[in-house]
Amino acid sequence: MPYFDAASSAPLHPVARQALQASLDEGWADPARLYREGRRARLLLDAAREAAAEAVGCRPDELSFTGSGTQSVHSGIYGSLSGRRRVGRHLVVSSVEHSSVLHSAASHEAAGGSLTEVAVDRTGRVSPEAYAAALRPDTALAALQSANHEVGTLQPVAEVAELCRAAEVPLFVDAAQSLAWGPVEGAWSILAASAHKWGGPAGVGLLAVRKGVRFAPQGPPDERESGRAPGFENIPAIVAAAASLRAVRAEAEAEAARLRDLVDLIRARVVEVVPEVEVVGDPVRRLPHLVTFSCLYVDGETLLHELDRAEFSVSSGSSCTSSTLTPSHVLRAMGVLSEGNVRVSLPFGTPAEDVDRFIDVLTWVVTAVRTKLGAPAAAAGPVTASEAVGAGAGAAAGTGDLTVDSLGRLCPIPVIELAKAIGDLPVGGVVTVLADDEAARLDIPAWCEMRDQEYLGEHPVDGGTAYRVRRRS
């Protein structure tokens, strides 16, 4: 039963399981106590810190264990901002950071701080120049992920770190997605990561703060973990986290090469077997195990459900699979299609046969969903007039233009109706799509880009938004 969502959480690595079980008997006592049981717990904790620090590429006394990657992010960002309060309250983040970073940034802004979000290109990558341009004399902190969690694009961390160093601004790096594959290069200042992303247990985050970085832990004081992670240390889980990080690192180079080939296969085959698909993210400068693509005329929720029925577990940045009904902020920031979005992230050890079978299953699942939704014939070029009898479509007589009323209908219906209607028009004619689903704002322009039609823009209408598209070919 193939699990292809390692970027959410990786299955427990066998070494993590062994280390956890082995340390349950010695790791339960308070490491701050001086008696025998406390000393044993302290030895385990110290050894785990040494091992994890080596893998991170920092000194043991720069590394704290927290209760989760999210806690590491919150503590790291607020501690740095607070430590540099005298410099100013300006924070720079990329627009494709993990939600824990963006939520921290939003809270900082709500509390009176200022915020700059650096845009990304269509591959999801920031440019070091744009990043440098965002730095100001009052910038307290800059944050940049090592690799994007939704599309796998690697960020230019080393270059950005160098530019930050020149500007004397500390750089916070969310390394959650990349730490299994290797240390983060460059002169970063603060780093956060999460053990369950590399096959360690849940309940362990890493927070590294380089010596010399001004840092003021937030919240009530607590003597544990340099004051950066209040609460009793979870030593068996910490031991398991450190041991499994070493174990995955030992396999990383060979496994990265193998998974990179499998992902290249998916990237190549998906566009062959599934018409109207857009593979997103940087094809080369990317995580080895992760690929994301979006399928026109398919809703993500049904797609995931059908893949799950066929025993493939993947995730999606489509709006319909999220409780917020808005598409993933990463896809939005990249300006790429969000409908029918699938993220595949292969765990260590994924067999090649599973990937082959996935491509087969995907082909027929997408076809089945499209047929059920009444999508236009999945071929290049606009659909024929006879197919374009959408429920809400009506010709505005005499003008050659059409209005499609998709108010109240969810992704991917507005795009399907647009695709059907545009075939009824002569080249130069304009389709106006009325929609209130947030995904339309991203997906209608993205569809125009994919299908080489001209997107004219949007304006508000009663109960929603009108999107205007001119037939170009």
Q: Which of 124, 128, 152, 203 binds its own copies (CB under 8 A)?
A: 203
Q: Are strands 454-461 and 401-406 parallel, antiparallel or unpaired?
A: unpaired
| Given the residues 58, 295, 320, 411, the one annotated as active site | 320
Least separation in angstroms between residue 23's CB and its own copies is 10
> Do 446 and 414 form a contact (C-beta atoms < 8 A)?
no
Q: Which stretch binds its own copies (CB under 8 A): 213-221, 249-257, 280-288, 439-447?
A: 213-221
Q: Applying CB under 8 A, does 179 fall inside the site for its own copies?
A: no
Q: Which of 20, 118, 277, 298 binds its own copies (CB under 8 A)?
A: 20
Tokens, residue 205: 């985050």
Least separation in angstroms between residue 247's CB and its own copies is 16
Least separation in angstroms between residue 192's CB and its own copies is 11
3-state per-residue secondary structure call for 162-173: HHHHHCCCCEEE
Give helix 352-373 / helix 235-273 axis angle, nearest 10°: 60
Dist. CA 51–CA 365, nearest whole Å: 45
Site string for its own copies, 387-416 (x = CB under 8 A): ------------------------------
Residue that is written with structure tokens 């290069």 in the block: 185
CA gyration radius for the chain? 25
Q: Which of 158, 167, 187, 202 binds its own copies (CB under 8 A)?
A: 202
Tokens, residue 346: 């292969």
Q: How many CB atoms lie within 10 A of CB 14?
A: 11
Q: Which stretch binds its own copies (CB under 8 A): 161-169, 177-185, 218-226, 327-335?
A: 218-226
Q: Which of 83, 156, 170, 205 binds its own copies (CB under 8 A)?
A: 205
Q: How many residues does the chain have?
A: 473
Closest CA to 93 of 82, 83, 78, 104: 104
Q: Which amino acid is at 401?
A: D
Binding to its own copies in span 282-341, by CB under 8 A: 304-305, 307-308, 311, 313-315, 321, 323
**Cβ closest to its own copies, residue 261 vs residue 311:** 311
Dist. CA 461–CA 293, nearest whole Å: 32
Least separation in angstroms between residue 208's CB and its own copies is 18
Closest CA to 152 of 302, 229, 266: 266
Count the site residues for its own copies by CB under 8 A.
Answer: 63
CA 141 to chain centre: 21
Q: Which of 50, 159, 222, 251 binds its own copies (CB under 8 A)?
A: 222
Q: Which of 22, 43, 47, 106 binds its own copies (CB under 8 A)?
A: 106
Q: Applying CB under 8 A, does 426 fall inside the site for its own copies?
A: no
Site string for its own copies, 55-84 (x = CB under 8 A): ------------xxxxx--x----------
Dist. CA 16–CA 225, nearest whole Å: 22
Q: Which of 61, 107, 250, 261 binds its own copies (CB under 8 A)?
A: 107
Dist. CA 377–CA 381, nearest whole Å: 10
In the annotation, is 320 catalytic? yes
Q: Applying CB under 8 A, does 435 fall inside the site for its own copies?
A: no
Tokens, residue 120: 């990304």
Q: Applying CB under 8 A, does 1 fall inside the site for its own copies?
A: yes
The set of residues, in sequence order, having a beta carbon less than 8 Å from that of 224 and lying 6+ positions away, is: 32, 230, 231, 232, 233
Q: Which of 153, 234, 294, 465 binds its own copies (CB under 8 A)?
A: 234
Q: Applying CB under 8 A, does 384 fall inside the site for its own copies?
A: no
**Cβ closest to its own copies, residue 227 vs residue 390:** 227
Strands (E), 341-400: 341-345, 393-396
Residue that is written with structure tokens 């299953």 in the block: 361
> Do 16 and 201 form a contact (C-beta atoms < 8 A)?
yes
Q: Applying CB under 8 A, does 47 fall inside the site for its own copies?
A: no
Q: Which of 35, 379, 398, 460 binds its own copies (CB under 8 A)?
A: 35
Q: Which stretch binds its own copies (CB under 8 A): 33-41, 291-299, 405-413, 424-432?
A: 33-41
User: Using omega within 30 degrees of 0 as the cis cutoff, is the peptide bond preceding 412 cis?
Assistant: yes
Positive/negative CA dihedral, 315, 320, 325, 326:
positive
**Cβ closest to its own copies, residue 227 vs residue 376:** 227
Q: Applying CB under 8 A, does 236 fall inside the site for its own copies?
A: yes
Least separation in angstroms between residue 141's CB and its own copies is 15
Burial of 37 (0-12, 13-18, 19+ CB in 10 A): middle
* Residues near its own copies, by CB under 8 A: 1, 3, 5, 8-12, 17, 20-21, 24-25, 27-30, 33-38, 67-71, 74, 100, 103-104, 106-107, 194, 196, 201-203, 205, 219-223, 230-237, 304-305, 307-308, 311, 313-315, 321, 323
Residues catalogued as catalytic: 320
